[in-house]
């Protein structure tokens, strides 16, 4: 996995969230990040999507448990629809954020070598001390879905802070200093 972000000249950054089936973790991450970006006044700077490495649930809505747990925290997953990562996604998206190492590995195997720097673990943007992966809650109970939301919320905040840092002495929301994200 590459250690730096690719450079992009366009102002709008394209981010793809990826898990295995695109019905639990990645649509949750998409919805949480969209909500957080909107709250910070940055929604117009980022295009978001989510996809799965497997084709198990193509065309289906997110898992009902994901929808319900997210809704309790104010996130709307109801309009999302599962899809599989396509070859064109590697070219289209500036950041491809995988929920665990298995998904990173699968994406790296499929991605052209010159674009592999776009693939990162989602949890690389989390504060230190948290797990390296967002655990799959699919076969578990309510606590698993809550844990996923906890991890995704804190990591989305870290991602926004990394992409749109507040300059020293600035007041207000992240991203108020520059038109383009910091991608180095």
Here the tokens at position 16 are 């793809």
In this predicted structure, the answer to whether residue 31 has a pLDDT above a threshold of 70 is yes
- What's the rounded Cα separation, in Å, for the pair 110 and 169? 43
- What's the rounded Cα separation, in Å, for the pair 52 and 56? 9
Between residues 173 and 130, the one the model is more confident about: 130
pLDDT tens for each residue of 32-51: 999 999 999 999 999 999 99
pLDDT tens for each residue of 131-161: 999 999 999 999 999 999 999 999 999 999 9
Q: Are 2 and 96 in contact (CB under 8 A)?
A: no
Q: Active-site positions?
A: 19, 25, 136
pTM (2 d.p.) = 0.88
Percent of the chain with pLDDT strictly greater than 90: 83
- What's the rounded Cα separation, in Å, for the pair 78 and 113? 35
Angle between helical axes of 142-163 and 64-72 (0-180°, round to 10): 60
Local confidence band at 165 (pLDDT 50, 70, 90 cut-offs): confident
């Amino acid at each position: 996995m590459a250690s730096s972000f690719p450079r992009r000249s366009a102002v709008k950054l394209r981010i793809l969230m990826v898990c295995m089936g695109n019905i639990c973790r990645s649509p949750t991450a998409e919805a949480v990040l969209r909500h957080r970006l909107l709250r910070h006044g940055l929604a117009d700077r980022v295009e978001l999507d989510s996809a799965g490495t497997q084709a198990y649930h193509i065309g289906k809505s997110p898992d009902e448990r994901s929808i319900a747990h997210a809704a309790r925290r104010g996130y709307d997953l109801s309009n999302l629809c599962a899809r599989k990562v396509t070859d064109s996604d590697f070219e289209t998206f500036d950041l491809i954020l995988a929920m665990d190492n298995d998904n990173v590995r699968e994406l790296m195997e499929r991605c052209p070598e010159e674009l592999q720097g776009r693939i990162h673990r989602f949890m690389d943007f989390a504060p230190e001390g948290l797990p390296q992966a967002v655990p799959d809650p699919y076969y578990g109970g309510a606590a698993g879905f809550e844990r996923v939301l906890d991890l995704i919320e804190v990591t989305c905040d870290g991602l926004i802070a990394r992409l749109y840092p507040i300059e020293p002495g600035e007041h207000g929301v992240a991203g108020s200093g520059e038109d383009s994200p910091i991608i180095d």
